[in-house]
Amino acid sequence: MNAATQDVLLRVEGLNAFYGRAHILFDVALEVRRGEVVALMGRNGAGKSTTMKAIMGLMDRAQGKVDFLGKDISRARPHQIARMGMGYVPEDRRVFADLSVLENLEVGRQPPRPGAVAWTPQKLFALFPNLGEMPQRLGGRMSGGEQQMLTVARTLMGNPYLVLLDEPSEGVAPVIVEQMADMIMTLKREGMSILLSEQNLHFAELVSDRAYVLENGHVRYQGTMDELAADAAVRHAYLSV
Ligand X SMILES: Nc1ncnc2c1ncn2[C@@H]1O[C@H](COP(=O)(O)OP(=O)(O)OP(=O)(O)O)[C@@H](O)[C@H]1O
Interaction between residue 24 and ligand X (CB under 6 A): yes
Select from 29-37, 39-47, 178-186, 201-209 the region that touches ligand X (CB under 6 A).
39-47
Selected from 12, 50, 108, 124, the binder of ligand X by CB under 6 A is 50
- 22 binds, options ligand X, Mg ion, none, Cβ within 5 to 8 A by partner type: ligand X
Selected from 23, 45, 115, 143, the binder of ligand X by CB under 6 A is 45
Interaction between residue 55 and ligand X (CB under 6 A): no
The amino acid at 46 = A
Q: Would you give the DSSP letter of residue 224? A: E
Q: How far is the CB of 158 from ligand X (least distance, A)?
A: 23
Selected from 10, 42, 150, 203, the binder of ligand X by CB under 6 A is 42
Bridge pairing between strands 37-41 and 22-33: unpaired
Nearer to ligand X by Cβ, of 19 and 230: the residue is 19
- Measured distance CA(69)–CA(133) in Å, rounded: 36
Select from 42-50, 101-109, 116-124, 147-155 the region that touches ligand X (CB under 6 A).
42-50
Burial 34-57 (b: 16+ CB within 10 A, else e): bebbbbbbbeeebbbbbbbbbbbb
Total residues at interface with Mg ion (CB under 5 A): 2
Q: What CA–CA distances, in Å, run from 181 to 174, 184, 207, 221? A: 11, 5, 6, 23
Q: What CA–CA distances, in Å, run from 214 to 127, 140, 219? A: 31, 34, 4
Q: Which residues bind ligand X (CB under 6 A)?
A: 19, 22, 24, 42, 44-50, 91, 199
